[in-house]
Amino acid sequence: MSVKILDKRVKKPELLAPAGSMESVLAAVRCGADAVYAGGERFSARANAANFPDAELEKAVRYCHLHGVKLYRAMNTLVFGSEISDFIEAAKRSAEIGADGLIVQDLGAARLLRQVLPDMRLNASTQMTIHTPEGALLAAELGFSRVVAARELNIEQLQRLTETGIEIEAFIHGALCMSVSGQCFMSALIGSRSANRGMCAQACRLPMAAKLPFGAVKGDRYDLSLKDLCGIPYINKLTETGVASLKIEGRMKRAEYVAAAVTACRAALDGKEPDLETLQAVFSRSGFTDGYLTGETGTAMFGYRRKEDVTAAEAVLPSLRELYRKESKVSDCAADFSVKIQHDEPVKLEMLCKNINVFAEGAMPQEAKNRPADEEFLKRQLDKLGDTIYTLGNISAEVDGKSTISAAAVNALRREAVQKMDETLIEAAKPNYRLESFVPVKNSGRRYPDRIRVRVDHMEQLNAVPQYVEDIIIPIKLCVNINSDKNRYIVALPRFIDDEELLKKRLDDVNQLGFTRILCTNLAHAKIGREMGFRLCGDFGLNIVNPYSAMAAAEMGFEDVTAGFEAKLADIAAVCGTIPVGVIVYGRLPAMLTKNCPIRQAVGECKNCSGFLTDRTGRKFPVRCEKDPSGFSCEVLNSDVLMMTDRLGEISADFAVLNFTDETGSETARIIECCRSRRRCFEKGFTRGLYYRGVG
């Protein structure tokens, strides 16, 4: 690729590198990263990375700060109520060791951090599914300094995000999830390993077929596996949008990968030719894709890890290790030395760097028998800075012309001064944080879901809903068909928004029709709805699984929320009290929200749609596309239907939610009645979801 030189008036973004180990920290810093993000032993969305115990994390922070590099700690998992105290203690420890910020997903965790560590920088994780300007603006209102944008955005959409004024972090290289981050529940539903809790089992990387010749699953189809993103050819365009940070994905990848990715990105940012061939060799899935950055989707984005991809890495690993084997110099760390050698006085050494002075004092000089110590001799010893961040600047020597000192003694003085300078620079780079206290929320006590809320997909289902159901969720497309009491309805908005202005116009029409409530699955919905005067109901996509998240929702203006279905019943019970809480008790749970239809890329046209994906065990996962004018997306639904209609007595919540997708009108009416009478809908072929077994 050919790289042009950026206009000097365009500010270069921070180059942010992943680190799953101390070796990766060294690789990132020595190859030119401006910042590093890493996880601790808990609350990291990459729990399967090596991650860092506290002592190791402190070591990483100190090393980064010595080199003028920032380190952000990823604490971007959902946090259950029973874990809140541990989460706060981990955040406090991060502040003590000098982390430059925390990356957070959980709304309740963010709310607590603003109270406990009011000066701590908070970055909104991509797990928060923020992908529009209104969502970014609400994140800023909630106290976030930066938004890590959803990976599904093109360059123009990123430009619109930067115009909000909040810092935007965009992905430049690394793995693409098939699902929109924060909205993937497949690993949890299949094996209780939650992506929102850092335990993703990467079920999407296993064989999954949308196209079934003769009805058989083919092991060579990977219809949920995307190639890795390589946005390096577009690095100048991304920079010109005003993004604050370019993020490399890969905390679970080896240090050599980090070195290759950082080196390539740094070269491109500096107007040099990046080595994409080596980068692809060290890790790829059938090559790279420019993915969503160019607005392209389809077959070209899909790929999986082949044998030749694995073997390609062997040839480049040794040369990549050489990139970070030695200590790197810091550009603005030229060290000036002043030496004083006088008879009958200890030798004195002053080191000056970045307007900071440190001093070292050694032994008494000896009378020279041959050649006394001079500036040339001192320079030779003081220039031995190869294993430090410093380069030699100016030397001044005050010598009496008759005394000498051994080379070993000068070396010892130099090492002492360097060590003191290191400590001083590290301490100077360490942020200072105020520490406040918080009051734990007390459980409000047992309550029962005495109301039924029904979500329908089409008119046949809607016509079958009994009159005793007080709340009915309808897709926005059905609003024009409703002539009865509009206060009974809650309007569901597209879960992913491509055109925010068009959505506002459609909501204005909805408002004019007399509807007063909307269902919000992301922050943009909340901000738009609040400003247009709608009553807000929160859906499962907000991932509310602790009482502090419920409090945050109430403060944003929500009148009720549906709890995240990855929480066990005991965790949901703890959410209740601040705001009415609902629990999904029936329906096919969404395993994924995608921006790229896995079936269409496989079969070519929608008329050939099979309607489902089949995994290697033969399980079928229905796929539903939402072709709304303001945002296209797909939902991959769970293979089994959730049924808890006969277990309502075990649920502590304010209302029960039934989600209907492909059911007929008669099935809809029967299932609602089963819920009302607390009976089973089916005798077999259902799941209890995660309410009992929970997630990791």
Checking if the pLDDT of 213 tops 70, the result is: no
Q: Give residue-wise pLDDT tens across range 477-511.
A: 999 999 988 999 999 999 999 999 999 999 999 99
Q: What local confidence, expressed as pLDDT, does residue 5 receive?
A: 57
Checking if the pLDDT of 564 tops 70, the result is: yes
Question: In the structure, what pLDDT confidence band is assigned to residue 214 with cuts at 50, 70 and 90?
Answer: very low
Q: Give residue-wise pLDDT tens across range 8-28.
A: 557 899 999 999 999 999 999
Q: Do residues 452 and 675 lie in contact, with contact meaning Cβ atoms separated by under 8 Å? A: yes
What six digits make up the tokens of 36?
């590093």
DSSP 689: T
Average pLDDT over residues 235-260: 97
Phi, psi of 316 (to 5 degrees): -105, -15
Q: What local confidence, expressed as pLDDT, does residue 215 receive?
A: 44
Average pLDDT over residues 256-275: 98
Checking if the pLDDT of 2 tops 70, the result is: no
Determine what percent of the chain is predicted with pLDDT higher than 90: 88
Helix (H, G, I), strand (E, B) or coil at 395: strand
Q: What local confidence, expressed as pLDDT, does residue 298 receive?
A: 87
Q: What local confidence, expressed as pLDDT, does residue 51 receive?
A: 78
Q: What local confidence, expressed as pLDDT, does residue 206 receive?
A: 92
Q: What local confidence, expressed as pLDDT, does residue 6 receive?
A: 59
Q: What local confidence, expressed as pLDDT, does residue 484 receive?
A: 86
How far is it, in rounded angstroms, from Cα 20 to Cα 39? 7
Question: In the structure, what pLDDT confidence band is assigned to residue 1 with cuts at 50, 70 and 90?
Answer: low
Question: In the structure, what pLDDT confidence band is assigned to residue 605 with cuts at 50, 70 and 90?
Answer: confident
Q: What local confidence, expressed as pLDDT, does residue 606 receive?
A: 86
Checking if the pLDDT of 650 tops 50, the result is: yes
Q: Give residue-wise pLDDT tens across range 36-91.
A: 999 999 998 777 767 799 999 999 999 999 999 999 999 999 999 999 999 999 99
Question: In the structure, what pLDDT confidence band is assigned to residue 212 with cuts at 50, 70 and 90?
Answer: low
Average pLDDT over residues 253-267: 98
How far is it, in rounded angstroms, from Cα 555 to Cα 649? 30
Checking if the pLDDT of 3 tops 70, the result is: no
Looking up tokens 């190791």, which residue turns up? Answer: 56
Burial class of residue 653 (count of CB atoms within 10 Å of its CB; 0-12, 13-18, 19+)? buried
Q: What is the DSSP string of 196-250?
A: GGT----GGGS-EES--GGG---TT-BTT-BPEEE-GGGHHHHHHHT-SEEEE--
Q: Do residues 328 and 347 lie in contact, with contact meaning Cβ atoms separated by under 8 Å? A: no
DSSP 128: G
Q: What local confidence, expressed as pLDDT, does residue 382 receive?
A: 96
Q: What local confidence, expressed as pLDDT, does residue 603 receive?
A: 87
Q: Give residue-wise pLDDT tens across range 76-86.
A: 999 999 999 99
Q: Give residue-wise pLDDT tens across range 281-336.
A: 999 999 999 989 999 888 999 999 999 999 999 999 999 999 999 999 999 999 99
How far is it, in rounded angstroms, from Cα 669 to Cα 288? 49
How far is it, in rounded angstroms, from Cα 615 to Cα 158? 34
Q: What local confidence, expressed as pLDDT, does residue 137 receive?
A: 98
Q: What local confidence, expressed as pLDDT, does residue 643 receive?
A: 98
Sheet strands (E) in 544-685: 558-562, 581-587, 590-594, 612-615, 620-628, 631-637, 641-643, 655-659
Checking if the pLDDT of 584 tops 90, the result is: yes
Checking if the pLDDT of 475 tops 70, the result is: yes
Average pLDDT over residues 576-591: 96
The model's pTM: 0.94
Chain centroid to Cα 147, Å, comes to: 9
Average pLDDT over residues 568-581: 94
Chain centroid to Cα 605, Å, comes to: 33
Q: Give residue-wise pLDDT tens across range 395-445.
A: 999 999 999 999 999 999 999 999 999 999 999 999 999 999 988 887 776
- Residue of 229, 175, 220, 171 lying closest to 202 (CA atoms): 175
